[in-house]
Structure 1
Amino acid sequence: MGSYPSEFNPVTKSLDSKEVEHLNPEDFRAKAHQVVDFIADFYKNIENYPASSQVQPGYLRTRMPQTAPDKPESLDAILKDVENDIIPGITQWVHPNFYGYFPASISSAAFLGEMLCACFNANGFSWVASPALTELEMVVMDWFAVMLRLPKCFMFSGTGGGVVQATTSEAVLVTILGARDRVLSKIGHEHAGKLVVYGSDQAHSMYNKQCKIAGIHPQNIRSIPARLEDEFALSPDTLRKFIEADVEAGLIPLFLCLTVGTTSTTAVDNINDLADLANKYNIWVHVDAAYGGNACICPEYRHFLDGIEKVDSLSLSPHKWLLCYAELCCLYVKNPSCVTNSLRTNPEYLRYKYSETDSVVSYKDWQVGTSRRFSPLRLYFVLRSYGVESLQSHIRSHIQYAITFERLVKSDGRFELVVPRRFSLVCFRLKQLNGYDASYTELLNRKLLEQVNSTGHALLTHSVVGGIYLLRFVVGSTLTEERHVIKTWEVVKELTNAILTEV
């Protein structure tokens, strides 16, 4: 039998010298203060970093050791490497000149909520596993529903309910599963291959992905073309033709995904008319309002949710525009039992006094996985720290900044708006030059986008809709002010001058 090293204690199974303290309160206090100072300085100096990372693929592997350290390293050394090696490779989503995708907004309030989430490390998969986690989530989801003026059929205080998912992808998946099993329980699982789902070709790419995960045959996923003359919203007449053709072919219409604020152009599908059509065929209607739905807390934008009482489910993401940090999506379901019947698990080791009662929510049955973080704390802190009126002002200020950029684009005859602005996204491009074809125009716009992002000053993104290549400028970063928008336009103009000089 081998002998232990002299410094090893076989009883504690640890090194007697330099023993690591996992969570000594005073040691944690000192190091946490150091990390908070690091974070505060990062935000304070955020404009000194490029908005878009300027590194090349593989850069970090050349800077990092090939193996983890054998001995503990100091926090000073770790933070130094974060500053020198990791931050340069981060696309700064919190930068005031980040205008790409849809931003993941931030706030001190949400940060504090996330700190407590990590502190408690609660796992609220069932009520008994963490009663406060379950009940706070139910309360906050109803608070948010009231802000959105949702009907009682989506609230726990009514006949429905809501749940925090990490992303819209998960929200869409669980609703498709609920819709699928609701239908198959009546007609038999042998007919699963006949199920058909519908959505605009402007719906988020995650929609097709979740349909496939749910077992929908790829040939039965209808991606319905949206047209420029409809401002890329889904046409009820076009949808009707698809549904009628499928019914005639003996297929079974199952699910319709509508969008309030598509990724490419923030197109808004007409919920009222499309839901009326879908309801005639008993189709589950889900509304993906991940971005645009947040604006609906403002009365002047609430009309985008008109007809919401006719749909089965709605999801929106406060992490995109309501200051909550990433991975916080709110899903509302009119008939929660459709989802929970599909996803329920009840092993003996999770059964307890209240598990069989209808009055107790087990959120494990509202999601794909089992474990649940205390994520609602972020939304809870934001709603209490800001109040509804301040959150409305936040949305309105971003929309006003987008209007400023829109006016600047209109003032320059070399540019055009591709679609009318909605919310805080401006879709624009260089116009087609006389004597040059559309492909050359696309080349110039690609070059402009590449050069804007390569400056590090700002980050914009692009899309292609209806065969049109366009640039996307969306205001959503918490730290953005009007001066940032104006300066970014000046950068765009300067680079445009240089590009067109070479033509």
Structure 2
Amino acid sequence: MGERPNHMSPEEFRQAGYQAVDWVADYMARLGDLPVKSSAHPGDVRAMLPAEAPKHGEDFSEVLADLGRVILPGITHWQAPGFFAYFSANASGPSALADLVSSGLGAQGMMWDTGPAVTELEQHVLDWLAVEMDLPEKFRGNGVIQDSASSSTLCAVLAARHRAGGINALPNLVAYASEQAHSSVEKGLRVAGIPADRMRPIATTPDYAMRADHLAYEIVKDKNDGLTPFFVAATVGTTATTGIDPVTEVAWVASNFDAWTHVDAAFAGTAALCPEMRFLNAGLETADSYVFNPHKWLLTSFDCSAFYVADRASLTEALSIAPEYLRNPASESGTVVDYRDWQVPLGRRFRALKLWFVLRHYGLEGLRAHIRRHLAWARELTEWVESDHRFELAAPTVVSLVCFRHKDGNKATSRILEAVNQSGRAYLTSTALGGQIILRVAIGSPQTERHHIEDLWNLIQSVA
């Protein structure tokens, strides 16, 4: 029979687990001392790995040692206090522990029957969020956790396509999104069979919000050409500037032509947990679907994207396939939710456990305090930018993203970006608006404190 598989016994797992948790805890403790952005060059990590996979099992301590030697130098530290790039990808102790428990359980929640607790906990925590974020009543009971906002948008496109006539309608279908919409909209349309020339980019206002009048013009033009407007993507918090599309006006235009309105609030939506930020929900009562990502700003490790639909039938009818081997009495009764019908893959992990742990550890007020600190620091940084004659804001500060540029132009702005990122103390990304390079400071890391924002601003000023 040859060598036996070296399965860990419960006691061996316990001892290895202690080592792994200690490693992660030590990592968390020294995050502020590590260079934020990895300096690895292409091929560096692979060069430290053996050419062939091990033939025999190794001691766990050896594997753990290589985390520091091989892996850590190739990691950009998204949880570091000086990480201000892209949008945050929050992780937290409770969320990490939930992932450990989820992996240990090894549950597969494709249907209620394969894991009743997996399904019902997901329904429940998503309803908790819908209530506490004051989402429209129609979204309650109609939530599902996807792996990302990109997958959520794809599912919205597929549901809209189904409602518009399905695959047979493809030749005539047209979609619309702001010029500032996330690239996942175009990708989702492409996957759904909608070619690039059937996606209409809609002009924006000076604040980078979709112009509802231009949307109406494009839809009427397409209708007159015999085409079928079927999908409109509105954004609450664009990637470049956190611009806010006028959802009420956009959805009104879309509804007049029976087009589906999907609202992407991947990053900014979390802020609506705070009552004073509920303006971000304006118009949602007229939307067909909505997504925000707890894995961005709600202290829940990737992947966890909360997707809500007003009418689940279009989604499940578009995605449901029921071969004989998946049939069971619970599903046939129609009294349970089978989340396999709410997503593209069949299988699904126990993601809701992370939300449950996070909500119970922090509580609603703790999560609101986390968000409010970042909102306040973003406002303060905005004031610092406005008071320095060398800089100018590039867009309004809506949540915790501050966008600005050096008045001397792109070379000066790029010089600042390069200097900050090479310093190891912080990491920024840029965007381009009207030919101008713009610095983005996205505040959201759970380890960031006010003095880290001040340190960043002092660094920017020193190299300006």
Report TM bin, short chain.
over 0.9
1:73-222 equivalences in 2 (<5 Å): 73-156=58-141, 161-184=142-165, 189-222=167-200
- Partner of residue 385 from structure 1, selected from 361, 369, 372: 361
Compute the displacement of 1:170 (Å): 0.6
Deviations 1:238-271 (A, max 9, x none): 1111111111111100000011100000000111
**Unpaired stretches in structure 1, ≥5 consecutive residues:** 1-12, 433-440, 497-503
**Which deviates more, 91-100 or 74-83?**
74-83
What are the Cα deviations for residues 50-102 of structure 1, in whole angstroms up to 9, with x where unaligned? 01111211111222211112222222222222112211111100100000001
Aligned to 2:275: 299
Code of the residue aligned with 2:455 in structure 1: it is K
> For 2:229, which of 216, 230, 253 is the aligned residue?
253
Q: 1:347, 1:403 → 2: CA distance? A: 54
1:46 aligns with 2:31: yes
Specify every segment of 5 or more residues in structure 2 that has no aligned partner in the other structure, as ranges. Answer: none
2:411 pairs with 1:430: no
Worse overlay, 353-362 or 89-98? 353-362
Any residues of structure 2 matched to 1:334-345 within 5 Å, and which? 334-345=310-321
> Which residue identity does 1:251 align to in structure 2?
L
Task: Report the AA paired with residue 243 of structure 1.
Answer: I
> How far apart, CA to CA, are the structure 1 residues paired with 2:46 and 2:100?
30
The separation in 2 between residues aligned to 1:308 and 1:357, in whole angstroms, is: 32
After TM superposition, the structure 1 = structure 2 runs for residues 315-330 of structure 1, keeping only pairs within 5 Å, are 315-330=291-306
**Aligned counterparts of 1:339 and 1:371: Cα–Cα separation in 2:** 17
Could you tell me the TM-score, scaled by structure 2's length? 0.98
- In 1, Cα distance between equivalents of 2:378 and 2:84: 10
Instruction: Name 1:436's counterpart in structure 2.
Output: none
- Equivalent residue letter for 1:89: G
Deviation at 1:331, TM superposition (A): 0.4
User: Structure 1 residues 120 and 58, CA, compared in 2 at 3 Å: closer, same or farther?
Assistant: same
d(CA) in 1 for partners of 2:107 and 2:41? 39
Tell me which residue corresponds to 1:332: 308
**Alignment partner of 1:35: what SS?**
helix
Q: 2:342 corresponds to which letter in structure 1? A: W
Aligned partner of 2:446 among 478, 488, 502: 478
Q: Secondary structure at the match of 1:60?
A: helix
Report the counterpart of residue 52 of structure 2 in structure 1. 67
Q: Which of the residues 399, 409, 412 maps onto 1:444?
A: 412
Deviation readout 1:484-503 (Å, 9 max, x if unpaired) = 1101111111122xxxxxxx
Q: Secondary structure at the match of 2:371?
A: helix
C-alpha deviation, 1:287, in angstroms:
0.3
Contact 2:143 2:309 in 1 (8 A): yes
Q: Which residue of 1 is the match for residue 434 of structure 2?
A: 466
Q: Give the Cα–Cα distance (whole angstroms) in 2 for the partners of residues 58 and 404 of structure 1.
A: 41
Say if 1:54 and 1:456, in contact at 8 Å, map to a contact too: no
- Provide the residue aligned with 1:236 in structure 2: 212
Aligned AA (1:422): V
Distance 1:356 1:172 in 2: 28
Give the SS at the match of 1:76. helix
Alpha-carbon distance between aligned partners in 1 of 2:63 and 2:460, rounded to the nearest angstrom? 38
Q: Which amino acid aligns with 1:138?
A: Q
SS of residue paired to 2:201: strand
Give the aligned length: 464
Pair 1:493-2:461 in alignment? yes
Q: Computing the radius of gyration over CA atoms, which structure comes out larger, 1 or 2?
A: 1
Shift of 1:175: 1.1
Q: How far 1:355 sits from its partner (Å)?
A: 1.3
Aligned twin of 2:422:
454
Give the partner amino acid of 2:162.
D
Q: Secondary structure at the match of 1:454?
A: helix
CA distance in structure 1 between the aligned counterparts of 2:252 and 2:368, rounded to whole angstroms: 30
Q: Do the aligned residues in 1 keep the contact of 2:6 with 2:57 (CA within 8 Å)?
A: no
Conserved in 2, the CA contact under 8 Å of 1:193 and 1:217? no
Q: CA deviation at 1:444?
A: 2.0
> What is the alpha-carbon root mean square deviation over aligned residues?
1.2
What residue identity is the alignment partner of 2:79?
V
| Contact 1:51–1:459 under 8 Å retained in 2 | yes
Please give the secondary structure, in 2, of the residue aligned with 1:487: helix
Q: Which residue of 2 aligns with 1:6?
A: none
Give 1:335-374 correspondences, 5 Å limit: 335-374=311-350
Instruction: Give deviations 1:205-241, integer Å, cap 9, x for gaps.
Output: 11101100001122101122324x2x00001111111
Question: Which of 192, 204, 224 is matched with 1:226 structurally?
Answer: 204
Contact kept in structure 2, 1:255 and 1:286, CA below 8 Å: yes
Residue equivalent to 1:36:
21
**Cα shift at 1:20:** 4.7
Task: Write out the 4+ residue segments of structure 1 that deviate beyond 3 Å after TM superposition.
Answer: none
Q: TM-score by structure 1 length? A: 0.90
Q: Secondary structure of 1:331's match?
A: strand
SS in 2 for 1:197: strand
Match of 2:41, SS? coil
- Partner amino acid, structure 1, of 2:63: I
Structure 2 distance, partners of 1:25, 1:99, is 41
